[in-house]
Structure 1
Amino acid sequence: MNITLVIILVTVGVSLAAWNNPALMSRWIMNPYQVMNRGQYYRLLTSGFLHADWGHLLFNMLSLYFFGGFIEQVFAYLFGGNGGLYLIGFYLVGIVVSDIPTLLKHRNNPSYNSLGASGGVSAILFAAILFRPLTPIYLFFIPIGIPGFIFGALYLAYSYYEARRGYGNVNHDAHFYGAVFGVLFMIVVYPEVVPQFFDQVSGWRLF
């Protein structure tokens, strides 16, 4: 069993447990006020294993399944036998880093909560796009695949715009900063990916 599947199984297990245990959900959810005023920094990480409902959980875990395996192979190539450990660290740091802007923005709002693996999943998704920018990405409501580099640009623009608007219950900041972290990390550990990315994109044609 690969590391990606282990992460998925653990996340599903924790989410199910929290749905059946409101005290666990309350204790582990990301609440910036509790983090800043009571020093409960563990919430930055534990909230990444909680989800609001089946739709939220399935969307994140399917995305992780389709792209996590590839990044796991990349890390095995880059780091050898330690590739699995790097994947775990990359994913967990992505969750934490993506929550920091939310922590700062809502630190004085005791009623604000957020949860989900979107930061870590976005980090993995955008790391994969950096290596394979022409791979089509399919959305549930669009039957035609969108090349990864185009999807990535639209995703970042939309997440940034919605985060600035501040409406709704979706933590768009986590999506945006998780994606940025994933790209920057891969550039630091494997700089060659940048010219490779542009070589692939320059050869893309719509027709």
Structure 2
Amino acid sequence: MDMNIVLIVIILANVIASIKGFSDRSFFEKYKFQIGPIKRGEKIRMFSSAFLHVDYIHLLLNMYVLYIFAPMILGTLGEVKFIILYLGSLFAGSILSMSYHKNEDYYSAVGASGAVAGIIYAAILLSPNMSLFMFPLPIPIPGYIFGIGYLLYSMYGMKKQLGNVGHAAHLGGAIGGYGLMLLVYPQIFEQSKITVILLGIPIVLLLIFGNKLK
């Protein structure tokens, strides 16, 4: 698989920032996502936190998933629209996390998962029938089913506060990727109309009943 220069730069930025954070705790604490400092004006954390990770496994998993899905987007939309999708999904994840956890000043998170979730969703819209695995199912499932399941699971995870996982960032990133894909590549309405509708239903439900996730 050929590595596009934009993809290389994004992966390197994640690797360099994360490794710096592993060895420099003050750097990690200064740039991680944390509600209190962000409310006090440190907005850079909403961006910088997406390039930090808790450990090598967290970093490798996010970069591997990005490496798998990014080329499809880059090959179809080009570099500028890919960057819009990546950064837009990143900020969508941070914004939903900020909104959902706004009263939890000590809530913190790191990782590229929100941005990566947006890229996954853009890829699903481009290729709805791609085969993907969803734990704990032992067999691959079509991309559009994975997408619906992922959205619903993220909503459930937010409601139940499952594990040490930033479900709000994942959900926000996925929604960002979905919305931005429709904006920057409107041809998708004709190419994957049914998938656009199916993935849009959980998002509409979230907008209507989102306050009940607390």
TM-score normalised according to structure 2 size:
0.83
Pick one of 25, 29, 36 that aligns with 1:22. 25
AA of the residue aligned to 1:35: I
- Higher mean displacement: 143-152 or 40-49: 143-152
Q: 1:63 aligns to what?
A: 65
2:177 maps to which of 178, 182, 196: 182
Counterpart code for 1:71: I
Paired letter, 1:56:
H
The Cα of 1:119 is off from its aligned counterpart by 0.8
Unaligned runs of 5+ in 1: 77-83, 202-207
Cross-structure match for 1:205: none
- 1:25-82 Cα offsets, whole Å, 9 max, x none, are 0000000110012x00000000000111122111111110000111111222xxxxxx
In 1: Cα distance, 2:90 partner to 2:74 partner: 17
1:41-80 → structure 2 map (5 Å cutoff): 41-76=43-78
Deviations, residues 147-177 of structure 1 (Å, cap 9, x unaligned): 1111111111101111122243201011111
CA distance in 2 between counterparts of 1:169 and 1:140 reads 17
Q: Distance in 1 between matches of 2:144 and 2:90?
A: 22
Give the percent of matched residue pairs that are identical in Structure 1 and Structure 2: 37
Query: Contact conserved, 2:85 with 2:181, CA < 8 A, in 1?
Result: no
Structure 2 equivalent of residue 132 of structure 1? 127
Give the deviation of 1:87 after TM superposition: 2.0
Aligned mates of 1:126, 1:154 — CA distance in 2: 12
Residue 161 in 1 paired to residue 164 in 2? no
- CA, structure 1 residues 184+116, in 2 after alignment: closer, same or farther (shift >3 Å)? same
1:117 aligns with 2:120: no
The number of aligned residues is: 193
Pairwise CA RMSD? 1.9
Q: Is the 8 A contact 1:134 1:200 kept in 2?
A: no
